[in-house]
Chain A
Amino acid sequence: MAAVNGERLLDCAICPNMCRCECPVDQEWRREASSPAGKARLAHLLLEGRLEWDSALLEVLSTCLGCRGCQLLCPFPGLDLSRELLRVRTEVCPAGITLPAAVPYLNNLKKFGSPYGARRSGSASRERQGRPEVLYFVNCTAQANNPRMQQLTLELLGAAGVSYEVLDQYCCGYPAQIWGDLDLARQLAEENAARIAGSGASLLLTDCPECWHTFTECYPCWGSELELPVIDTATYFLELVRQKRLKPGPVKEIGRITYHDPCIWARVADKCEAPRELLQSIPALELEEARPGGQETRCCGGGAMFQLTFPERSARIARRRLSELPPSDALVTSCPFCRENLQADGAEVLDLVELLSRAVFQEKDE
């Protein structure tokens, strides 16, 4: 990872917080120190050696969802505050100072390779004759909270006649990086990269934007660049629909849906179109656009593993986002963190894969 860009950070530090209205953290905490420029000011003073590190300061600097909502309004082209803060936490913060709430999850990562504890192993494969077309990377959050996602994804791949293998993987390394343990993140990346290379697959499939981002942006910086393309489920399944290898039908009892764009897919990966096109491939389905939506979407509060480290705040951010979404028969998203977090008040939230699965298999089942 590149060094902190002190000049960019200073631009932010001396800005009057022109982006704060789009920062879910600022709107939830309402604490000046946690505002975007508030964090940049503290980070600048730390870089200048005018403040001393302690865990309270690290906690303030960790209150960034990484959603890039600030970039929508940032007056400084090219400034990515979340990235600069991440660099400050991982590369400037002295060893031994850790975000207290992250300690048990870091211990899990070290012991089990997953922040949630013991992993389920992968290795489900279908019609594997030689190299699989697709290597499916099951993200830790879905594995822990919605294990059915794996089954549904594999059923869809199977229905399309795709040969696949499920990677017996470790966490991608994203949480370890977020919590400042770059060495651990690198170890996990190295382990995953070796297993991925060993699979011989021609494509790595993921349903998690944070995993996708870590594979594509961080692994190369950590010396674990993957030699195969990494693709998200929406884009991949859309292609299978276009090729008529998957044929979605109408979904019973769901006529109007609201789609919540996950912030990393929307703003970092620029993937707003594929999920919409996939949704439009389902007959008789009407899409209600969220306001704000698309690239201007707002984080559900699940970014940067907030569900684990700041659970109450994270749930309140989710409620705020839910209040912005238009009513419909189903709320659909395409990120395990969003799916989990937007269920804050018991609302039913579907991953795009779950909806597609119903569209593809419902009629058949009946």
Chain B
Amino acid sequence: MADHLSKVIQEERPSRPDYASLAKQLAAIVGSDGVSADGADRLANCRDYWPMGTLWFLEGKSPALPDLVVWPRRTAEVAAVLKLAVENDVPVTPYGEGSGALGGAIPLQGGIALDLKRMNRVLKLDRDNLMVTVQPGMNGARYEEYLNRRGFTGGHFPQSLRCSTVGGWVACRAAGTFSTRYGKIEDMLVSLEAVLPDGTIVHGRDLPRTSTGPRVDHLFLGSEGTLGVITAVTLRIWPYPAARIYRSYAFETIEQALEAIRRLIQAGARPAVVRLYDSAETAHHFPECKEAAGRALLILLFEGDGGIIAAEAGLAAGCAGEQGALPAGSEPVERWLKTRFDIGISSALFRQGAVVDTIEVSTNWTNAAPLYHAMQKAMLAVEGTVLASGHYSHVYPEGTALYLTLIGFPSGDKEQYYKRLWGAAMESCLALGGAISHHHGVGLHRGLWMAQEHGTTLEALRLIKRAFDPQGIMNPGKLGLEEAAKWRQ
């Protein structure tokens, strides 16, 4: 059923496993309802939320197809599946809820799509030490709901909260919109359990800090399924915040706003949410805010102990005032809270023939404004681009993330336009010393720039990959560790 759809970037693998026989062996491990060669399942697990995947879907094409979809429920089952995959030289692509934006979940060489969604139990809630251990396939919103019911928060609210998994967050080094207070997922991770391709199960320990050499379990942070499979994660949690304060400020220039934020963060304040929108995004998201017309709007959300956040809000007012900002009240923050998961406009644009994407990078404060201007200019110079707007979010004492939204209506081939657009973005980012990704990860597509991003460390990363996965069965073609020839063409 699914096979007659063209598989536009599927790569060949020399081995030719007998998938019918393999399916029987897998059923003996995960049960007959835990393996499928059904066309509906193969199609469902062939892509994620990478815009190229969406464009191909609209053309009735599939990027690649897994031969089998397998749903383990336990770590031991994952270990047995991986051992069988190694024995048969079958590629394995872990799959969560498919919200990745870079094609990381595409089974580039076919094989097994290892769907981890049925591993979705909470294994342990440690109230005294503020930690929770969960299986990787738990849905993000359900994870937060579980914690809220018990008086805690996980503090992790990516826009994909409702359609991503806890394991996916760790595997992609995700960030949530409340990251300035709670950190990125790597700041929340205490330990994890993972299965290596040979079936070995490795565990970290749930201790605050250690000085016992490199943390092997932490190597899986951002590994995107290339080293093995994450089967449990222990994350920090927080008491549900007692109070919240909302503030917003409108600045004449991006530079003034960035300076205010830098001073605020370097003074020690940690608002949960810090978002600075350029004038285009301010006009789009906050049309009702008169103070912000033609300006850059900063929204701040403080949460936690009432006394502490009141002091932080006071500090923010001072920093904003020093830069000539106009206070714009709490309404823009309330509006953001209501609309933060609304992605409806993207679908409408895709249907109208647009290419839509977002690119998030990170940089130090000294380059924060120049990088925005340079990347925006580079992308607008690509013929067909009609919008390259931006906002800053996820701020740190040493710098910030920059998030750009792109819309193009190319007159020619969309795939070529997409590559040109990304090429302009990545080259301009690298030229100014930015990191090519802050939290979306690498997947398939960003692998094209991993050599420039990493320099000599990429080869070290490849050595680690070969040590863990000598046959290269784990999510081949991703993270820039191997060639993804058809996509590079």
Q: With an 8 A cutoff between CB atoms, is B335 at the interface? A: no
For chain A residues 173-193, which have a beta carbon within 8 Å of chain B? Answer: none
Q: With an 8 A cutoff between CB atoms, is A51 at the interface? A: yes
For chain A residues 122-163, which have a beta carbon within 8 Å of chain B? Answer: none
B343 in complex: contacting residue of A7, A41, A75, CB < 8 Å = A75
For chain B residues 455-484, which have a beta carbon within 8 Å of chain A? Answer: none
Q: With an 8 A cutoff between CB atoms, is B160 at the interface? A: yes
With A50-B60, A51-B39 as known contacts, state yes or no: A16 contacts B44, CB within 8 Å: no
Residues of A within 8 A of B341 (CB): 18, 73, 75
Contact A20 B162 (CB under 8 A): yes
CB distance from B208 to the nearest CB of A (A): 31
With A20-B162, A50-B5, A73-B162 as known contacts, state yes or no: A33 contacts B137, CB within 8 Å: no
A16 and chain B: residue at smallest CB distance: B49
- Complex Cα distance A277/B58, Å? 49
For chain B residues 230-263, which have a beta carbon within 8 Å of chain A? Answer: none
Residues of A within 8 A of B2 (CB): 51
Contact pattern, A 43-87, Cβ under 8 Å of B = 1, otherwise 0: 001001011101011001000000000000101110000000000
Contact pattern, B 144-157, Cβ under 8 Å of A = 1, otherwise 0: 00000100000000
CB distance from A159 to the nearest CB of B (A): 41
- Complex Cα distance A31/B71, Å? 8
Residues of A within 8 A of B45 (CB): 32
Residues of A within 8 A of B49 (CB): 16
Residues of B within 8 A of A11 (CB): 344, 347-348, 351
Most buried by B among A17, A27, A56: A17
CB distance from A322 to the nearest CB of B (A): 14
Q: With an 8 A cutoff between CB atoms, is A15 at the interface? A: yes
Residues of A within 8 A of B115 (CB): 30-32
Residues of B within 8 A of A242 (CB): none
Q: With an 8 A cutoff between CB atoms, is B38 at the interface? A: yes
Contact B351 A42 (CB under 8 A): no
With A16-B49, A16-B160, A32-B45 as known contacts, state yes or no: A27 contacts B142, CB within 8 Å: yes
Q: With an 8 A cutoff between CB atoms, is B191 at the interface? A: no
Question: Of B93-101, B192-200, B288-296, B439-447, which binds chain A?
Answer: B93-101
Residues of B within 8 A of A22 (CB): 141, 162
B145 and chain A: residue at smallest CB distance: A21
Contact A21 B39 (CB under 8 A): no
Q: With an 8 A cutoff between CB atoms, is A14 at the interface? A: yes
A45 in complex: contacting residue of B60, B97, B149, B160, CB < 8 Å = B60
Q: With an 8 A cutoff between CB atoms, is A10 at the interface? A: yes
Contact A42 B343 (CB under 8 A): no
With A41-B57, A48-B60, A75-B342 as known contacts, state yes or no: A32 contacts B162, CB within 8 Å: no
- Complex Cα distance A211/B161, Å? 36
Q: With an 8 A cutoff between CB atoms, is B427 at the interface? A: no
Residues of B within 8 A of A73 (CB): 162, 341
Q: Sort chain B's interface into a size bin.
A: 35 or more
With A32-B98, A50-B60, A52-B1 as known contacts, state yes or no: A18 contacts B343, CB within 8 Å: yes
Q: With an 8 A cutoff between CB atoms, is B139 at the interface? A: yes
Per the CB 8 Å criterion, the residue count for chain A at the interface is 36
Contact B139 A15 (CB under 8 A): no
For chain A residues 278-333, which have a beta carbon within 8 Å of chain B? Answer: 291
Residues of A within 8 A of B58 (CB): 14
CB distance from B101 to the nearest CB of A (A): 9
B61 and chain A: residue at smallest CB distance: A50
Q: With an 8 A cutoff between CB atoms, is A19 at the interface? A: yes
Q: With an 8 A cutoff between CB atoms, is A38 at the interface? A: yes
For chain B residues 344-360, which have a beta carbon within 8 Å of chain A? Answer: 344, 346-348, 350-351
A60 and chain B: residue at smallest CB distance: B40
- Complex Cα distance A17/B54, Å? 13
Q: With an 8 A cutoff between CB atoms, is A13 at the interface? A: yes
CB distance from B106 to the nearest CB of A (A): 13
Q: With an 8 A cutoff between CB atoms, is B285 at the interface? A: no
CB distance from A57 to the nearest CB of B (A): 6
With A52-B1, A56-B38 as known contacts, state yes or no: A45 contacts B43, CB within 8 Å: yes
Q: With an 8 A cutoff between CB atoms, is B206 at the interface? A: no
Contact A17 B99 (CB under 8 A): yes
Residues of B within 8 A of A51 (CB): 1-2, 39, 43
B60 and chain A: residue at smallest CB distance: A50
Contact B347 A21 (CB under 8 A): no
Residues of B within 8 A of A21 (CB): 139-142, 161-163
Contact A7 B351 (CB under 8 A): yes
CB distance from A11 to the nearest CB of B (A): 5
CB distance from A64 to the nearest CB of B (A): 14
Contact A32 B41 (CB under 8 A): yes
Residues of A within 8 A of B41 (CB): 31-33
For chain B residues 1-41, which have a beta carbon within 8 Å of chain A? Answer: 1-2, 4-5, 38-41
Q: With an 8 A cutoff between CB atoms, is B270 at the interface? A: no
A27 in complex: contacting residue of B5, B139, B348, CB < 8 Å = B139
- Complex Cα distance A73/B140, Å? 14
Contact B43 A42 (CB under 8 A): yes
CB distance from A288 to the nearest CB of B (A): 14
Contact pattern, B 316-347, Cβ under 8 Å of A = 1, otherwise 0: 00000000000000000000000001111011
Contact B40 A18 (CB under 8 A): no
A13 and chain B: residue at smallest CB distance: B57
Most buried by A among B60, B163, B351: B163
Contact A30 B40 (CB under 8 A): no
- Complex Cα distance A298/B71, Å? 25
Residues of A within 8 A of B342 (CB): 75
CB distance from B418 to the nearest CB of A (A): 16
Residues of B within 8 A of A75 (CB): 341-344, 347
Contact B1 A54 (CB under 8 A): yes
B40 in complex: contacting residue of A14, A20, A57, A76, CB < 8 Å = A57
With A31-B71, A45-B60, A56-B38 as known contacts, state yes or no: A14 contacts B44, CB within 8 Å: no
21 A-B Cβ contacts within 8 A? Answer: A11-B347, A14-B350, A16-B99, A19-B163, A20-B97, A21-B162, A31-B44, A31-B115, A31-B117, A32-B97, A33-B38, A33-B43, A33-B44, A38-B44, A41-B44, A42-B43, A42-B44, A52-B1, A56-B38, A57-B1, A73-B341
Q: Which residues of B contact A (CB under 8 A)?
A: 1-2, 4-5, 38-41, 43-45, 48-49, 54, 57-58, 60, 69, 71, 95, 97-99, 115, 117-118, 120, 137, 139-142, 149, 160-163, 341-344, 346-348, 350-351
- Please give me the 9 A-B residue pairs with the lowest Cβ-Cβ distance, nearest first: A75-B344, A21-B141, A30-B117, A32-B44, A33-B44, A16-B49, A17-B163, A33-B40, A21-B162
Q: Beyond A13-B57, A52-B1, list 11 extra A-B contacts (CB 8 Å).
A: A14-B58, A16-B163, A17-B98, A20-B139, A30-B71, A32-B95, A32-B97, A32-B98, A45-B60, A51-B39, A56-B38
